[in-house]
Structure 1
């Protein structure tokens, strides 16, 4: 367990400041959004169940040259923004030694009470501004899935399904997702 470094209070944080924090192992997740450090608690079991099942769906159907990852894995979207989506899909060429420097093919966030606002508004807009082609948000408590695809006019909602409804998604590759199947205990 590392010791939290002292961070500057008179300016926005930079990637260098964030790098000093990222190796602290205290059970929290750290992200940098617009120069502000965002700290969230570790997830609960239903959250991790959804993450694991979506990762399995994406991994089993991933075309050559693409790989699915689960958090924590940093994505540098800008000099003052480093995010860790719950699940991401990246082209092999974009994967660096320490992080993804660039935009993933897909970013997926699983909502929790502590991240709901960030995932639905702030992160949604940051992924859109960065040019992430696909963004999904899954609410394990409803359960539901919302999927957006980037067009030249910004994100367009391509699916919003609840419970046992089926999302037939074309991007990043064809997938069928049923929100309740992601949350059911085995």
Structure 2
């Protein structure tokens, strides 16, 4: 991950919209431009398998999306969770501005600090109901739920352990299954 400094003014979502479509992931966090390289196969496998699991469990009125889809809670922030769940009525033509029901980040060496510290803080501050962090290397899952404005761990499992999650909707997740190739 690279943070792109800027002389003078901070970056805005309007600046972000003018950047090239060059295969890199561009995000804004409070006016700071973050640039991330393309993910590796195990990262994508974990996202794909979790997407299928969440899609099957998702109740009416909610929708599951894969990155890249911008979540723009303010004019200085545009984040792209690896997976996100949002109410159907909160999906805009180009992006989402309402608080997310769920944000999921899959860790990689280039995104670990950004996901565990920077994004977690922003999601918490902006009222994202649930935040899950998947580490495909371990494999593991930490699930956080927003209680009284702060994240509280609702599950912390690894390998073949099962997380019986209730928020944002009931779903069971086994971290090892997320990184296994399809049969």
| Alignment partner of 1:168 is 2:164 | yes
Give the unaligned 5+ runs of structure 2.
Answer: none
Q: Corresponding residue for 1:87? A: 83
Deviation sequence 1:97-125 (CA, Å, 0-9, x none): 00001111000000000000000000000
Q: Corresponding residue for 1:18? A: 16
Deviation sequence 1:41-91 (CA, Å, 0-9, x none): 011110000000111111111111111000000000222111000000010
After superposition, residues 1-186 of structure 1 pair within 5 angstroms as: 9-21=7-19, 24-186=20-182
Q: Which 4+ residue blocks in structure 1 deviate beyond 6 angstroms?
A: none
Deviation sequence 1:8-44 (CA, Å, 0-9, x none): 52121112111212xx221110100110110000111
Distance 1:34 1:143 in 2: 31
Whether the aligned pair in 1 keeps the contact of 2:124 and 2:149 (CA below 8 Å) is no
Give the unaligned 5+ runs of structure 1.
Answer: 1-6
| Alpha carbons of structure 1 residues 92 and 111: separation in structure 2 relative to 1, 3 Å | same
| TM superposition score normalised by structure 1 | 0.93
Distance 2:6 2:89 in 1: 34
CA RMSD of the aligned region, Å?
1.1
Instruction: Give the 3-state SS of the residue equivalent to 1:11 in structure 2.
Output: coil
Distance 1:84 1:165 in 2: 28
Task: Give the aligned length.
Answer: 178
Instruction: Using the TM superposition, give the Cα deviation of residue 153 of structure 1 relative to its aligned residue in structure 2, in angstroms.
Output: 4.3
